[in-house]
């Protein structure tokens, strides 16, 4: 049992300005239990009236030890943990984790699985942006947008449930392909979604894009220059809103992104409004990618035929000794990729999501490290917030689109 | 001349008004939830009773039964007093509103207002100002930084907008040539509604009264996303319910006052033949006004605090002054 004690200002001396010590400015703890810190972020704010003099973000309240736990699980078991990192982007986390394994083991991924991965990850991107749009609208007080976005997100979650049996923690993308092929209802469901969604995006635009109050709350707020983005290593929509045309789907295409025709929305003002514009335009682009991928969805298997990594189909278990052995090995011990280390990287809805994986040849990864966009982007928060109002802090946190599970792995 | 019948009449009318307002408050929360739900493609409360009509009652029971917490470092006397200071002005402000022409009941003439003060508008301004103290003291006595910020915001906002609000009420008073609300309604019966004769004052009144009662998009003091709950962060149980009540009753009060000043009050077709239609018309106008307020809340983001102040001082206040001067000039020329 630790005693509860009061922290004196003197103990925070190294974090705050001298004015706080004389009582001229006020120290305010925002979070970790606060409605607009998007999870459990704690901010130590030094306020002069309502103006933010300084801010210190404090993370770690959602630390779940995912990376460390991975070291004591085998590769397949660890994948289940990746769903729980960035819980708004489980498909993307699964995908980048599988990309690392595939790179390490030189596993092939069938064409159909690649196309389906693209569709699912882009759906996930839309659902993540929808949640962001809703919650950041809520942060500035536009409450209806939130519920409209949740309604549309529901359709995507239903599609995920249809393919994987789970709405959020899908673990559907597996090393060497997918868990299993999508059901027959998948294609009509996605098609009806991409028919239905553009009108909804226009509704959101009607509510916010030209709304005087929203523009007032977002234009010129939380500005960060492209140069600072590079210095802090920011990525994703935050960087693209500051004029950096950087999207890994174009720069380092994976799973056939180079074959799809889509644009990268880039804005130059670098404020909250630009980030809003980038994300909403990205939703439209994701719809374009999904449509193209659906139109040329190839047939064939959805899993690699490499039995050292991918379990054999159930039908073979009764007839093939080999299949039974592989099945037994995979389910008792797991697969053992060759010794080596790789870095796989993808564009998550929030930015550059990478996995560094080191294998010592055993069935358990020696080290798995996730390079997560929420963590990186969060560093720039004090830079964006200084000199602005406490109300802007809330709008800026929303605009960075942090997921604390992603920052605290 | 005061006789026993008159005292009984006053007591009955006051009771009807206060009970009507508290009941109105309860069902306004219901209306707001239902309407917001419709705006947001939800269903809304529909479990307790038909159409969820039992929800306000359940809420009241819940508020009564909840534990009332007082923070250790709070200034206890002021902490308890603050909700009362907030709610009493809200309940008393409507005493000067006429609900209709006098009726013949029980062999005596019953006027449908509690008191026809000849300075009705000044009375309204004076009473509404008092509730600012409640909010300020609540924020200050809670000894909580969020509450303090919320209280400060509320004070600054309400004081700034009171000027524009007061000046916007001068317009109708000038045109009617009286500060009594009964006279203002009668004057509107003779001419047009003041929403048409005094459009600028009407718009100014609408904006500044919305700010005065801290409704969206001016709901800065309680901005839950920034200040968790503003000045009532530390309040729980019935004390919290009192703040909630004050807020919603003020919302009703402002709608009633606005309808009386600008939308003809109890005026409406056939009100001359059937005087009992008067209260009905006023209630209908009030409900429409309330629905617009709810609609605004569903649609608009919150305006930022510094913008709110500059809107109040730099735009609304000069316009209100200008409107008063122009109106006075025209009235002097014509009349």
Q: Is B49 left (phi over 0), alpha (psi -120 to 50) or beta?
A: left
User: Which of A368, A95, A124, A374 is closest to A254 using CA atoms?
Assistant: A95
Split at pLDDT 50, 70, 90, the class of B224 is low
Largest CA distance in chain A: 81
Chain B CA closest to residue A34? B228
| Chain A residues with CB-CB distance to B223 below 8 A | 141, 391
Mean pLDDT, chain B, rounded, equals 83
Q: Do B302 and A26 touch (CB under 8 A)?
A: no
Q: Do A390 and B304 touch (CB under 8 A)?
A: no
Residue B143 clears pLDDT 60, i.e. is over it? yes
Mean pLDDT, chain A, rounded, equals 87
Q: B217 and chain A: CB distance < 8 Å anywhere?
A: yes
Split at pLDDT 50, 70, 90, the class of B226 is low
pTM of this prediction? 0.84
Residues A184-221: tens digit of each pLDDT:
999 999 999 999 899 988 888 888 777 777 888 888 88
Residues A294-350: tens digit of each pLDDT:
998 988 888 888 888 888 888 888 899 999 999 999 989 888 999 999 999 999 998
Q: Could you tell me if residue B86 is inside a domain?
A: yes
d(C-alpha A250, C-alpha A43), whole Å: 35
Split at pLDDT 50, 70, 90, the class of B227 is low
Q: A161 and chain B: CB distance < 8 Å anywhere?
A: no
Q: Do B42 and A147 touch (CB under 8 A)?
A: yes
Residue A1 clears pLDDT 60, i.e. is over it? no
Q: Chains A and B: how many Cβ contacts under 8 Å? A: 76
SS3 string, chain A, reads: CCCCCCCCHHHHCCCCCHHHHCCCCEEEEECCCCCCCCCCCEEEEEEECCEEEEEEEECCCCCCCHHHHHCCCCHHHHHHHHCCCCCCCHHHHHHHHHHHHHHHHCCCCCHHHHHHHHHHHHHHHHHHHHHHHHHHHHHCCCHHHHHHHHHHHHHHHHHHHHHHCCCCCCCCEECCEECCCCCCCHHHHHHHHHHHHHHHHHHHHHHHCCCHHHHHHHCCCCCCCHHHHHHHCCCCHHHHHCCCCCCHHHHCCCCCHHHCCCCCCCCCCCCHHHHHHHHHHHHHHHHHHHHHHHHCCCCCCCECCCCCCCCCCHHHHCCCHHHHHHHHHHHHCCCCCCCEEEEEEEEECCEEEEEEEEECCCCCCCEEEEECHHHHHHCCHHHHHCCCEHHHHHHHHHHHCCCHHHHCC
Q: B224 and chain A: CB distance < 8 Å anywhere?
A: yes
Q: Could you tell me if residue B30 is inside a domain?
A: no
Query: Is the interface score ipTM higher than 0.90?
Result: no
Å from B293 to nearest chain A CA? 14
Residue A49 clears pLDDT 80, i.e. is over it? no
Residues B6-20: tens digit of each pLDDT:
788 888 888 888 888
- State residue B228's pLDDT score: 65
Chain B CA closest to residue A141? B301
User: Which of A400, A381, A212 is closest to B302 using CA atoms?
Assistant: A212
Split at pLDDT 50, 70, 90, the class of B220 is low
Split at pLDDT 50, 70, 90, the class of A125 is very high
- State residue B216's pLDDT score: 73
- State residue A368's pLDDT score: 92
The boundaries of the domain holding residue B203 are 67-334
User: Structural domain tally of chain B?
Assistant: 1
| Chain A residues with CB-CB distance to B215 below 8 A | none
Q: Which of B39, B149, B301 sits opposite A217 (nearest CB)?
A: B301
| Structure-model confidence comparison of residues A101 and A62, the more confident one | A101
Residue B332 clears pLDDT 90, i.e. is over it? no
- State residue A95's pLDDT score: 92
**Share of residues in chain A with pLDDT > 70 (%):** 98
Residues B250-261: tens digit of each pLDDT:
888 889 888 888
Q: Could you tell me if residue B264 is inside a domain?
A: yes
Average pLDDT of the segment spanning A386-401: 85
Residue B231 clears pLDDT 80, i.e. is over it? no
Residues B14-46: tens digit of each pLDDT:
888 888 888 888 888 888 888 888 888 888 888
Structural class in CATH, domain A66-304+336-407: mainly alpha
Residues A258-305: tens digit of each pLDDT:
899 999 999 998 888 999 999 999 999 999 999 999 998 988 888 888
Q: Do B305 and A50 touch (CB under 8 A)?
A: yes
d(C-alpha A51, C-alpha B245), whole Å: 32
- State residue A289's pLDDT score: 92
Split at pLDDT 50, 70, 90, the class of A97 is very high
């Amino acid at each position: 049992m630790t005693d509860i004690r009061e922290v004196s200002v003197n103990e925070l001396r190294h974090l705050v300005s001298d004015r706080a010590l004389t009582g001229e400015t006020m120290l305010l703890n925002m979070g970790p239990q606060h409605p607009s810190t998007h999870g459990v972020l704690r901010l130590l704010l030094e306020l002069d009236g309502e103006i933010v003099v300084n801010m210190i973000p404090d993370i770690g309240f959602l630390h779940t030890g995912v990376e460390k736990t991975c070291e004591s699980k085998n590769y397949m078991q660890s994948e289940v943990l990746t769903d729980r990192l960035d819980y708004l982007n489980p498909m993307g986390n699964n995908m980048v984790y599988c990309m690392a394994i595939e790179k390490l083991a030189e596993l092939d991924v069938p064409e159909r699985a690649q196309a389906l991965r693209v569709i699912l990850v882009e759906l996930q991107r839309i659902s993540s942006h929808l949640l962001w749009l809703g919650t950041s609208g809520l942060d500035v007080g536009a409450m209806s947008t939130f519920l409209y976005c949740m309604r549309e997100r529901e359709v995507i979650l239903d599609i995920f449930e249809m393919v994987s049996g789970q709405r959020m923690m899908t673990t559907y993308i597996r090393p060497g392909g997918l868990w299993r092929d999508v059901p027959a209802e998948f294609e009509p469901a996605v098609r009806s979604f991409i028919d239905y969604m553009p009108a909804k995006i226009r509704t959101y635009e009607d509510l916010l894009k030209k709304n005087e109050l929203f523009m007032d709350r977002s234009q010129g707020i939380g500005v960060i220059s492209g140069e600072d983005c590079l210095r802090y290593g920011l990525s994703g929509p935050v960087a693209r809103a500051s004029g950096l045309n950087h999207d890994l789907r174009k720069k380092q295409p994976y799973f056939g992104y180079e074959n799809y025709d889509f644009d990268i929305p880039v804005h130059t003002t670098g404020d909250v409004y630009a980030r809003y514009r980038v994300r909403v335009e990205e939703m439209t682009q994701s719809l374009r990618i999904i449509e193209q991928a659906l139109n040329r969805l190839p047939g064939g298997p959805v899993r690699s035929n490499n039995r050292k990594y991918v379990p054999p189909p159930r039908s073979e278990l009764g007839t093939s000794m080999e299949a039974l052995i592989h099945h037994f090995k995979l389910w008792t011990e797991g697969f053992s990729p060759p010794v080596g280390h790789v870095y796989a990287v993808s564009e998550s809805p929030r930015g550059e999501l990478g996995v560094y994986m080191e294998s010592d040849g055993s069935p358990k990864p020696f080290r798995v490290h996730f390079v997560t966009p929420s963590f990186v982007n969060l560093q720039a928060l004090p830079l964006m917030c200084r000199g602005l109002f406490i109300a802007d802090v809330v709008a800026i946190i929303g605009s960075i689109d942090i997921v604390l599970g992603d920052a605290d792995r | 001349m005061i006789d026993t019948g008159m005292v009984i009449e006053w007591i009955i009318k006051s009771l009807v008004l206060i009970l009507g307002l508290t009941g109105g408050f309860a069902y306004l929360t219901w209306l707001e939830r239902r309407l917001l739900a419709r705006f947001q493609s939800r269903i809304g409360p529909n479990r307790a009773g038909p159409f969820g009509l039992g929800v306000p009652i359940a809420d009241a029971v819940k508020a009564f039964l909840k534990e009332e917490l007082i923070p250790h470092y709070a200034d206890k006397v002021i902490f308890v007093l603050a909700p009362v200071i907030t709610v009493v002005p809200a309940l008393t402000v409507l005493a000067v509103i006429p609900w209709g022409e006098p009726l013949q009941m029980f062999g005596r003439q019953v006027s449908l207002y509690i008191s026809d003060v000849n300075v009705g508008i000044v009375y309204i301004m004076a009473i509404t100002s008092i509730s600012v103290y409640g909010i300020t003291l609540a924020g200050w006595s809670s000894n909580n930084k969020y509450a303090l910020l919320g209280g400060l915001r509320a004070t600054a906002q309400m004081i700034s907008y009171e000027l524009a609000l007061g000046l916007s009420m001068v317009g109708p008073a000038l045109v009617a040539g009286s500060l009594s609300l009964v006279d203002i309604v009668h004057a509107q019966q003779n001419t047009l509604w003041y929403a048409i004769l005094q459009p600028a004052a009407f718009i100014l009144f609408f904006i500044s009264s919305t700010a005065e009662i801290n409704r969206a998009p001016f709901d800065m003091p309680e901005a839950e996303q920034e200040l968790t709950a503003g000045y009532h962060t530390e309040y729980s149980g019935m004390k919290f319910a009192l703040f909630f009540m004050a807020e919603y009753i003020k919302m009703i009060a402002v709608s009633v006052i606005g309808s009386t000043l600008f939308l003809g009050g109890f005026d409406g077709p056939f009100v001359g033949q059937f005087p009992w239609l008067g209260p009905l018309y006023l209630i209908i106008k009030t409900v429409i006004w309330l629905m617009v307020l709810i609609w605004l809340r569903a649609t608009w983001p919150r305006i930022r605090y510094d913008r709110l102040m500059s809107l109040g001082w730099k735009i609304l206040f000069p316009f209100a002054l200008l409107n008063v001067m122009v109106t006075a000039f025209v009235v002097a020329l014509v009349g």
